[in-house]
């Protein structure tokens, strides 16, 4: 039963037990030609020792790569051979992470409690969700339920807000399919709070008009692991049979056009798509829930970071030939909503947001949440935003800014879809 979640103990281990990232470097690479982009993309899907923070997408588009210290000279040789320009944006990742861990450890020692304006552990998030459900504003019913358990037995929770009125449509939001994207759950938790408590007139209007299903942490095992062991871990935590490798990229694992574009079939790769479509328990549970709710959902939004983008299906290329991105038959409908949404977001603080088909905007992929939501669950408007920032290591001061602009986008998205 869900009340037992309050008794669960998720321990954040001492800092000396965490991966230090000593000597890890982050490089920015600048592809100038289509051949450069193709080369970097091939490097991404055929190696398992490079961590692409910003993946190769277009000529002149920045590509960000984290490289372990023992591979620095190897990567340098590969890029020099291709005559690619690059520079070191972070010379030692440990130096960026240490101040963050020192602050977190100090808060833990002082008696850490949930803070909506800070990053929070999995257990703190789950405890807060259960408490908030008891404090929902009048006229609104809040419920926390689990769609199923992760590989390690953690429940995958949804915060539902609804009114017992006939013919109400709904919206779905999920986040943290990639464990290290801490700004995603932090942003989404503030959306839950606003909607549940009616902290502003727009939030009250949205919950008076629609039901909301919000899953702040789709990958609980991975997210918990980023707190206890490896801050920059991306995948889930299931060991792959017959290998020493752990984890599948859940956003390459959904059982729709699985394993075709923009994935790796090497088990240790950060973009490993899994042994088969929908092979992972986390993916299976979300697939089931999207299909269950799909007929009533006006839109789904699967939240990532980082990059200031608002994207939508399809992620694959035509016939998976790697040349031309496949556009949906209703591409113009999705684009019209994406334009309004992205404009609302960027007008909040004067930022710039790309918008459009995900294959065109960023790179080709297959097996993603948004493609499954549209292609199998039948949700017409399936969006995939990449939140603000230029790194996965982002200060807590960015949470409120991220929430404010994202919430503005959600309001305009809903208003535009409802017409």
Catalytic residues: 386
H or E stretch including 65? strand 63-67
d(CA 387, CA 37): 23
Question: Which of 403-407's residues contact partners 24+ apart within 8 Å by CB, and which partners?
Answer: 403/186, 403/187, 403/190, 403/191, 403/194, 404/348, 404/349, 405/345, 405/346, 405/348, 405/349, 405/351, 406/187, 406/191, 406/303, 406/345, 407/190, 407/191, 407/194, 407/202, 407/203
d(CA 310, CA 381): 12
Helix 183-197 vs helix 122-133: angle between axes, to the nearest 10 degrees?
A: 10
Among residues 13, 52, 21, 102, the alpha carbon closest in space to that of 269 is found at 52
Judge contact between 140 and 207, C-beta under 8 A.
Answer: yes
What phi and psi values does residue 81 have, to the nearest 5 degrees?
A: -60, -35
Among residues 285, 234, 235, 233, the alpha carbon closest in space to that of 255 is found at 285
Among residues 383, 259, 253, 410, the alpha carbon closest in space to that of 328 is found at 383
Residue 112 DSSP SS3 = coil
d(CA 233, CA 396): 19
For the CA atoms of 299, 178, 12, 125, the dihedral, rounded to the nearest 10 degrees, stands at 0
d(CA 268, CA 286): 24
55, 61, 343, 359, 361 from 58: Cα distances, Å:
9, 5, 22, 11, 8
Residue 142 DSSP SS3 = strand
d(CA 294, CA 377): 5
How far is CA 388 from its chain centroid? 12
Class of residue 48 by CB neighbours under 10 A (exposed 0-12, middle 13-18, buried 19+): middle
């Amino acid at each position: 039963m869900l009340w037992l979640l309050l008794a669960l103990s998720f321990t954040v281990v001492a800092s000396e037990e965490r991966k230090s990232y000593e000597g890890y470097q982050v490089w920015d690479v600048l592809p100038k030609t289509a051949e450069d982009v193709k080369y970097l993309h091939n490097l991404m899907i055929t190696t398992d020792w490079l961590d692409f923070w910003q993946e190769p997408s277009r000529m002149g588009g920045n590509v960000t790569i984290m490289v372990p210290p023992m591979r620095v000279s190897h990567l340098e040789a590969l890029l020099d051979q291709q005559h690619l320009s690059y520079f070191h944006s972070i010379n030692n990742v440990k130096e960026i992470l240490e101040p963050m861990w020192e602050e977190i450890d100090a808060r833990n020692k002082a008696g850490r409690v949930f803070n909506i304006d800070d990053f929070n552990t999995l257990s703190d998030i789950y405890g807060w969700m259960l408490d908030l459900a008891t404090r929902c504003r009048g006229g609104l019913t809040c419920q926390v339920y689990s769609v199923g358990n992760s590989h390690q037995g953690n429940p995958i929770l949804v915060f539902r807000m609804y009114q017992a009125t006939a013919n109400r449509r709904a919206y779905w939001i999920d986040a943290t399919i990639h464990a290290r994207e801490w700004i995603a759950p932090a942003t989404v938790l503030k959306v839950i709070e606003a909607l549940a408590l009616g902290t502003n007139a727009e939030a009250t209007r949205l919950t008076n008009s629609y039901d909301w299903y919000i899953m702040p942490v789709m990958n609980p095992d991975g997210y918990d692991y980023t707190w206890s062991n490896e801050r920059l871990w991306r995948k889930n935590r299931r060991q792959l049979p017959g290998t020493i490798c752990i984890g599948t990229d859940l956003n390459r694992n959904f059982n729709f056009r699985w394993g075709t574009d923009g994935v790796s079939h090497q088990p240790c790769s950060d973009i490993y798509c899994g042994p088969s479509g929908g092979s992972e328990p986390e993916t299976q549970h979300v697939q089931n829930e999207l299909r269950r709710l799909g007929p009533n959902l006006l839109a789904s939004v699967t939240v990532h970071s980082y990059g200031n983008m608002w994207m939508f299906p399809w992620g694959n290329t035509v016939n998976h030939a790697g040349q031309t991105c496949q556009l949906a038959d209703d591409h113009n409908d999705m684009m019209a909503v994406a334009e309004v949404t992205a404009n609302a977001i960027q007008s909040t603080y004067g930022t710039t947001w790309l918008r459009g088909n995900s294959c065109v905007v960023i790179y080709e992929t297959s097996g993603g949440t948004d493609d499954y939501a549209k292609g199998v669950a039948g949700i017409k408007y399936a969006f995939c935003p990449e939140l603000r920032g230029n790194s996965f290591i982002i200060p807590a001061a960015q949470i409120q800014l991220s929430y404010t602009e994202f919430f503005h986008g959600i309001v305009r998205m809903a208003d535009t879809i409802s017409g």
